[in-house]
Structure 1
Amino acid sequence: MSSRPLTKADAELMEKLRKLRGGSPSPPPRPSTPFSDIPAQLKSEIIISSSFLNSCLNAGNLQSIVFSPAIISASLIMALYGADKEAIKEINDVFGQNLLCDNTSYESLIYFKSLIYSKKLSLLPPFTDYCNKNDSHLFPVDFDNLGQTIKEINSKVSEKTMGLIANILNDSQNIIIQDTSLCVASAATFVGQWAFSYPFDKPKSIMFYSNPPRQIDMIRQKEKELWMFSEGDDWTCMSIIYGEDIPRKLYIILPKKVDGLANLIKKFDYSLIRQCINGTNVLSAATIPLFQIKSTMVLNDKLKDMGIKHLFSENAFDKIISNDNPHGLDLFVHAARIKVDQFGADGRDDTADHLRYEDLRIQPGYLIPPPGCEEIEFVVDRPFIFFVALWKVFEGQDSKPRLHSIQFTGIFS
């Protein structure tokens, strides 16, 4: 495959990517603020990530899963604006004060965020005004007609996510019951290609050491390229940059032991994330699995385990409902989807499109390794944690991008 000459636009993009990637000569971005001082929404996303992963571990369920902390946090903030003082206090106790919705943490996603409520209820204007201003869909339904309601909700989710998430509810799941009145529902996915045209070999079936082990399709780079890499006592991490105008990275955290996923989950917190994002340059021909995960989660118990309980009590939403009957949140449901292939997230499926697209991308070889760059093998052949982080350059600060949002977190096993 031929590559076109390097243009001025390429050079400008390469410089941006070099800063994001942490390539020589500039060091990688290193957040200096302690966890207690980071923005409240980012803090909430990290707490959600850690709590939900540990919830899966405690339940003995380490199957593949994905969720969007950014959208879950934004949905909680939507509920916060309609909840009473006790529910607000609980949320503040978990995440800290000043938890305000910053839509820049999720506006680059393909998402659905809604308060679904019974047509028997009438919501008061202060809350409806807030939802309308913050892209939170208000969706009145007839919960007495469950079959039709499920179809309507799934249709809206599919519409808002461009058909990438076809449904969030299933008749057989018995998630919604007939006395349901209030439901927070959210769904999120994204599409993005890798920033570089990595020359991968054709997908090949390789042993993946899950329980039990199985053969899965993986891709391996044809040549060693420059990557960002970090390492702890019992884990290694490599990141891949998504391209276009959105500074987004996929981080794969791989336990050193084949059966090390459980211990890695116990360690997943802000400290581990900081170590992952503050990597160094290495040369590697990475081998990574092709995977696609779609998960639907009822979050009632997970949120209660975190200490957010009053939100589900019978009078938590009295101030936004004009009816005399008290109401609390009956259901908090979330769906997410991620696909990773040799072209990015939801790369194109037609070979001709792939070839045309690869001809337009920067070749990673344009980034020259710094002197003494370490050479490593990075083979993702065992269950791992991943997260997708959004970076942002803030006005009034230096030009280094800083961690802004944890858009997705999950396990592949």
Structure 2
Amino acid sequence: MFKGLTSDYTKQGFKMWGNVQCCLMVVLILSVDWTVGIKDQDHDHDHSADHHQHLHHGNDAAHPHNDGEDKPCHKLSPHNADFAFSLYKKLASQPDTQGKNIFFSPLSISMALSMLALGAKGNTHSQIFSTLDYSALTSDQVNDGYEHLFRMLDHNQDALLLEIGGAAAVQKGFKPEDKFLKDIQHFYKGEAFSVDFSTPDVAVQEINKLIAKKTKDMITDMVKSLDAATVMMLINYVYFKGKWEEAFKVEETSKGDFHVDENTTVPVDMMNRNGEYEFYYDQGNFTSIIMLPYNGNASMMIILPDQGKMEELEKHISKDHLKYWKDKVHKITLDLYMPKFSVSASSCLGDTLKDMGMVDAFSDSADFSGISKGAKLAVSKVLHKAVLSVDEQGTQAAAATTVEIVKFSALLFKTEVNRPFLVFIVEKNTRSILFMGKITDPTVYSKQWAVGTRSESKALFRPEMQHHGQCGVVGYITKEEATRVLTGRFECPICNCKSRIEMQNSKRTAAALRLLPCSCTDIHTRPESFTWYKYNTNRNTWEMISNESEQYRNRVHTYN
């Protein structure tokens, strides 16, 4: 019945997650002083190449939806899914995402761009709709669909919390079209408020405060800077918190290995539960499908390709496969193992959206006369950030999207999820993909760092740098990073001496490593002369640690 299952499925546990924290932010900046040139090439959006290549289904074929798409939001769901997979494939194909985690909320991005489309006219509007796969829909169908989707998704149950909304931060003195603001409020729950963008630092604080409030402090410092010429920022947020129907027991969590690739293994906390799960093994595509339901109307879908099959799967996966797999899953008893982890992913989507056909919005050809007839506006940036955290109890996720608008002047199967996999969080009633992504390395952002810098320089060095640019750096690093240290890639920038290292036993997800500085550093003899920081991965900020802490004064032990 499960022909094609390898020995991995009979000898190992099926390891999977429990609780997800997810934070997302997208920033679209419309600028009045845009000077970036647009390449003279054809950016027409062609969905057919990606969306109609099907994976092998053996003798089975994916069937279209026949269950009555009479609800307005159901008209959006297949188009939103096509956009989600099209965007995913673009992100997965970029050189700087190779070997990295990918995670985003396609629904949040779609809503943000749909809000933007309310003020777009002519080719600008057509290109936004084409990019979103809305070309076959009218503006009324899209807006009515989102109005209905908001009503259906914005619910608060005992075990499932889902909050979605929007906002429009408007420059004091700037007068957007009344219809634009009314439509944002009516269709996208976007309430307008005044901001003084001429004082960017203050505006950043106000906007970040709003985003933090709406995402329950999961996104606290998304907007880093603003152009003083900004006249409006559109904000969309999604917050999700759900509990598994069947939670994992904390006492069953144990250490295990996750195979990032054929040459790299990282240690993770593996949760374990023996019970019934909806499962399907697609022999033609060498892929396992597992459904993990939440209490309420949402589920997590795990798509686990066999070793070495992820790239092939990514090239052809589409919404048809999700529908096919959902129809095929059936309950079996699994000894399920799943990693407990936190990951983070961020990207700049401007060039990606241009490649998908949304060109004019970023150029002097942009027509946003639906926002303002008296000001020339254009999009300058689209930024996106997402954080995902998983534990034994359930899932917590948040997403925020901002559009910054500036004036333009230029059996019992023992099976493990122990290798890269795709993850989807889907809402059943509206058939919406709330979040999706690929987990390549679940340890990348689960580690914490303690960084010591010379107090006189007050320099802060990010752990993701190839080297820290200063002696006396202490913190958690992965085995891969430890290997780089062992091979001499971390060298003292002052005297070029290789730092000595000490590996320490650790119960943490990431390997604990202490860099012992070379002879030119007095970190051990004079620890009081250093200012210590820890990197808070949930808030993505550096926090100062008291110099009086014995934990750091006593040969600078790793931070817990």
TM-score, scaled to structure 1: 0.73
Corresponding position of 1:238: 290
Residue in structure 2 matched with residue 370 of structure 1 by the alignment: none
Which of the residues 85, 92, 99 maps onto 1:50?
85
Q: Is the 8 A contact 1:191 1:346 kept in 2?
A: yes
Change (3 A) 1:80 1:104: same
Determine whether 1:405 maps to 2:432: yes
Partner of 1:12: none
- Distance in 2 (alpha carbons) for counterparts of 1:55 and 1:33: 26
Pairing partner for 2:65 from 16, 33, 36: 33
Match of 2:142 among 99, 104, 129: 99
Amino acid at match of 1:276: W
1:87 and 1:310 in contact (8 A); partners too:
yes
Structure 1: distance between partners of 2:238 and 2:345: 10
Q: 1:63-82 maps to which residues of 2 (within 5 A)?
A: 63-82=100-119
- Asked whether 1:136 is paired with 2:190, we answer yes
Checking the alignment, whether the CA contact within 8 Å between 1:184 and 1:331 is kept in structure 2 is no
| Deviation for aligned residue 1:153 | 1.6
- Match 2:270 to one of 218, 231, 237: 218
After superposition, the CA RMSD in angstroms is 2.8
Q: 1:67·1:409 contact (CA, 8 Å) conserved in 2?
A: yes
3-state DSSP of counterpart to 2:268: strand
Q: Between Structure 1 and Structure 2, which shows a larger proportion of helix residues? A: 1
- Residue 142 of structure 2 aligns with an amino acid whose one-letter code is L
Q: Find the counterpart in structure 2 of residue 385 from structure 1.
A: 422
Give the letter for the 1:264 counterpart: L
Give the 3 Å change call, closer, same or farther, for CA 236–143 of structure 1 in structure 2. same
Secondary structure at the aligned position of 2:280 is classed as strand
Which of 275, 279, 282 is residue 229 of structure 1 equivalent to? 279
- Aligned residues of 2:298 and 2:425 also touching (Cα < 8 A): yes
The answer on 1:149 being equivalent to 2:203 is yes
Match of 2:238 among 188, 202, 212: 188
Q: What amino acid is the match of 1:188?
A: V
Preserved CA contact (<8 Å) 1:168 1:296: no
Q: Is the 8 A contact 2:212 2:219 kept in 1?
A: yes
- Who is 1:298 aligned against? 348
Task: Provide closer, same or farther for how the CA distance between residues 301 and 73 of structure 1 changes in structure 2, counting only shifts above 3 A.
Answer: same
Query: Is the 2:363–2:378 Cα contact (8 Å) retained in structure 1?
Result: yes
Query: 2: distance between equivalents of 1:237 and 1:344?
Result: 19
* Counterpart in the other structure of 1:11: none
Alpha carbons of structure 1 residues 123 and 45: separation in structure 2 relative to 1, 3 Å: same
Which position in structure 1 is the counterpart of 2:303?
253
> Contact 1:228 / 1:282 at 8 angstroms: preserved in 2?
yes
Query: 1:57 offset after TM fit, Å?
Result: 2.0
- Which residue matches 2:166? 113
Give 1:183 shift: 4.0
- Quick one: distance in 2 between partners of 1:104 and 1:391? 14
Shift in Å at residue 210 of structure 1?
1.0
Q: Does the 8 Å CA contact 1:186/1:333 hold for their aligned counterparts?
A: no
- The one-letter amino acid paired with 1:269 is S
Q: Does 2:125 align with 1:125?
A: no
Going from structure 1 to structure 2, the CA distance change for 1:99 and 1:200 (only over 3 Å counts) comes to same
Aligned-pair CA distance for 1:199: 4.5
Q: Tell me if the contact between 2:290 and 2:302 (Cα under 8 Å) persists in the aligned partners.
A: yes
| 2:248 and 2:272 in contact (8 A); partners too | no
Give 5+ residue unaligned stretches, structure 1. Answer: 1-29, 348-373, 393-402
Runs (5+) with no aligned partner, structure 2: 1-61, 156-161, 398-410, 441-560
Cα pair 1:193 1:343 within 8 Å, conserved = yes
Pair 1:316-2:343 in alignment: no
CA–CA separation in structure 1 for the residues paired with 2:391 and 2:165: 24
Please name the residue that 1:169 is paired with. Answer: 223
CA distance in 2, matches of 1:120, 1:380: 54
Quickly say closer, same or farther: Cα 1:297–1:283, change in 2 above 3 A: same
Separation in 2, partners of 1:241, 1:170: 36
Matched-pair contact (CA < 8 Å) for 2:150–2:164: no
Contact 1:187–1:334 (CA under 8 A) maintained in structure 2:
no
1:265 aligns with 2:314: yes
Encode CA deviations 1:218-266: one digit per residue, 9 max, x unaligned: 1111x3x1111122222111010000xx310001111101x43322221
Larger Rg: 2
| Cα distance in 2 for residues equivalent to 1:220 and 1:282 | 16
3-state SS of 2:376 partner: coil
TM-score, scaled relative to structure 2:
0.55
Report what 1:275 is aligned to: 324
Q: 1:264 to 1:65 in 2, by over 3 A?
A: same
Equivalent pairs, count: 337
- Higher share of residues assigned strand: 2
Separation (CA, whole Å) in 1 of partners of 2:94 and 2:276: 39
One-letter code of the match for 1:186?
N
CA contact 1:66–1:409 (8 Å) conserved in 2: yes
